[in-house]
Every structure is written in structure tokens, then in C-alpha cells.
Structure 1
Amino acid sequence: MKQQRIVITGGPGTGKSTIIEQLLQMKFTCMPEISRSITKKAQESGIDQLFLKDPLLFSELLLQGRVEQYETAKTQAYEKVFFDRGIPDIQGYMDYAGTNYPDEFIDKSFKFRYSHVFMLPPWKGIYKTDNERYESFEQSLIIYQHLIEAYKKMNYDIITVPEGSISKRVNFILNSL
């Protein structure tokens, strides 16, 4: 059995985590988004937005965590593993921030490959900010474009998930596999 490693990605506030939660309820194996835990930990030590203060440090922590998730997934005997964001997302965000980064980020994106990439476009009807999501809807549009470019640079075919109810979006993803 060849394991499918499936990325659910898109700009901030597009419904990725909600889809992952639904997949978990359906008993699929999912790797959660880790940027929120990094942000919360930094906030506990007095740094409001680590990505804004030190984007490279934040991204290095993300890279380490996402590689660990990927390695963990490889050891699991599951046919499908869903990831709330993938390694190339890090490049997309750093490109958005105008941050220079070492080749290690690109090298790891090529080394740790996913079988499918599902991209959720910005959707104003569901977008909201919170303590960890500081970006405006307009910024999410720009980030979305950077994410598309990051995955295209890594030679991925991107499958765009249409707007709709959670169940319709999840069914679209599952039927596309």
C-alpha cells in the first residue's frame, strides 16, 4: 500500500482547519497546523507575533515541525494522511513577507513530497481574524497567490476546492482522490 500524503492549504481563514476537524471526525489521520502553537508559545513569552518580529526564526520552527509531522506520517500504516498545510507553505509566507531564506527550505520541499495538494481560495463569507490570525482579508488574497506560486515552483498540480458547506468541501476532496 502506497500512502497518500494530502495537503489542505490556502490563505488564512479559508476553512482548512475546519475541514481537517471534519476529516478527523470521519476517522482519517490528520496532521494539525502547528503555526498556532508556535505563535501561542511566543505570545506566552511576550512576543505578540513571532512571524512579524522574526519571520526566519518562526519559519525555521515551522520547517522543523512540518518535517517531523511528515516523518511521523511515514511510519503510520494509514492509506491516507491529511496535512493542515505543507512544507511549501513556509516559502509562500516568507515570499509574502519579503524574507530571504536559505536553500534548506526549498531542498526540504523537494525532499518531502505530498501526493495531492488541495488549495482553498480566500472566501470573504467565512473569513475572520483572531488572536493568532492577524492578516486582513486583503492580505489573505496576496498570501494565497504566494502559496500558489510556492507549490507551482515545487511542480505540484494544485486542486482548487470550491466554496460550499464543510460536507461538500470534504466530499469534493475525498472524491478527487
Structure 2
Amino acid sequence: MSERYVVLSGCSGGGKSSILAELRRRGYAVVEEPGRRIIQSEMASGSQALPWVDIAAFARRAIETSLADRVAAAASAGWVFFDRGLIDAAVALEHATGEPAIERYGRPHRYHHTVFFTPPWPEIYASDPERRHGLDDALGEYRRLEHAYPALGYRLAVLPKVGVAARADAVLAALEVNAA
């Protein structure tokens, strides 16, 4: 079942959400980024589990949300595309606290063996109310993810810096090749 679960990860602001929107438009099941959903909820309620207030609480919420997303995804047939996911949240928690979260969550909860990575793309990077960190912080996160996924046995497929439709095509073509 987890081989149907495909993660798009990589650099913050690298175009993951746009690719997921294109995949959704083409009829595929997608799971929105846990972090953005948490930030929206926390800001609406006045709570403090925000990455710029309490990164550890935020990462723990992202882990909980990612686990729930995996359970909910079981109801979908075919490929399910995740905008980030459990491993990204575990990397954030381990970075913030030193807790061994990557191994704890990454080994038992698997995704498709190929993880699609959006590389740093300064020309399209933009902050917004939910992404308050700068490009330097995004690059640090990218390096941590770039190390964590292969350490868990995943193959990284770095997506080209091309238009959204071509990037979605690249994801689907790679999955088709891997399915053969």
C-alpha cells in the first residue's frame, strides 16, 4: 500500500504545491502540506504551535497530521501524492529537539521508494503569511531532507526547473517507468 504514496519534498518555495495542484487537476488524489494546514489552524485559533513560535510543538503536530493523512489516504485508489509528509515533520522535530524522530517515524511508515525533490529555486521563492522564513532557512531544511531520505533508503529524483505541467509530467513518467 505505501508504494502508492508518493512524496514531493525538497526546498521550501520550490513549487511543490503548484505541482500537486496540477496533479489534482489531472484527477490524482493529493494531500495538502501538513505545515500550511497547521499554521492556518493555529493562526485562526490564536494557538502557539507555529514554527516561528514553538517549532517543536509545530513539528509534533505535523507528525500527528501526517500520520492521520496516511490513514485517510488508504481510502483513495491509485497514486496518492503528498505535499511533504511524515519524514519532513520528523526531520523538523529532530532538528529542533535532537529527538531521534527520523528513525522512529521514517522506518515503519514508508512511502514510494522514489521521493520527488524540488530544488532550491531562488527566482520563484517567496515568503507569505504561512512561510515567514527566508531562503537561507529553506536551504538548511533542504540539506537536512536531502540527507534524511536517502538515509532511510529512498531514491531522490530532483525535478527540473521547468513549467508546472512539465514537472508533473516528469513525476508521472518516472512513476510509470518504476511501475514497469
TM-score by length of 2: 0.87
In structure 2, stretches of 5+ residues that fail to align are: 176-180
Alpha-carbon distance in structure 2 between the residues aligned to 1:108 and 1:94: 11
Quick check: 1:114 aligned with 2:107?
A: no
Listed one character per residue, the Cα deviations across residues 45-101 of structure 1 (whole Å, up to 9, x for unaligned) are 44577123222211111111111111122233x1211001021111333355x4222
In structure 1, stretches of 5+ residues that fail to align are: none
Say if 1:14 and 1:153 are closer, same or farther in 2 by CA, change over 3 A. same
Alpha-carbon distance in structure 1 between the residues aligned to 2:60 and 2:147: 20
Alpha-carbon distance in structure 1 between the residues aligned to 2:2 and 2:130: 36
Q: Which residue of 1 aligns with 2:39?
A: 39
Regions of 4+ moved over 6 Å? none
Q: Which residue of 2 aligns with 1:127?
A: 125
Q: Which residue of 2 aligns with 1:56?
A: 56
Q: Which residue of 2 aligns with 1:151?
A: 149
Q: Which residue of 1 aligns with 2:178?
A: none
Say if 1:6 and 1:110 are closer, same or farther in 2 by CA, change over 3 A. same
Q: How does 1:1-177 map to 2 (within 5 A)?
A: 4-46=4-46, 50-76=50-76, 78-96=77-95, 98-101=96-99, 103=100, 106-115=103-112, 116-177=114-175
Alpha-carbon distance in structure 2 between the residues aligned to 1:140 and 1:10: 9
Alpha-carbon distance in structure 1 between the residues aligned to 2:171 and 2:123: 20
TM-score by length of 1: 0.89
Say if 1:142 and 1:62 are closer, same or farther in 2 by CA, change over 3 A. same
Q: Is the 8 A contact 1:2 1:79 kept in 2?
A: no
Alpha-carbon distance in structure 2 between the residues aligned to 1:105 and 1:92: 6
Say if 1:11 and 1:69 are closer, same or farther in 2 by CA, change over 3 A. same
Structure 1 vs Structure 2: percent identity of aligned residues?
28
Alpha-carbon distance in structure 1 between the residues aligned to 2:29 and 2:111: 15
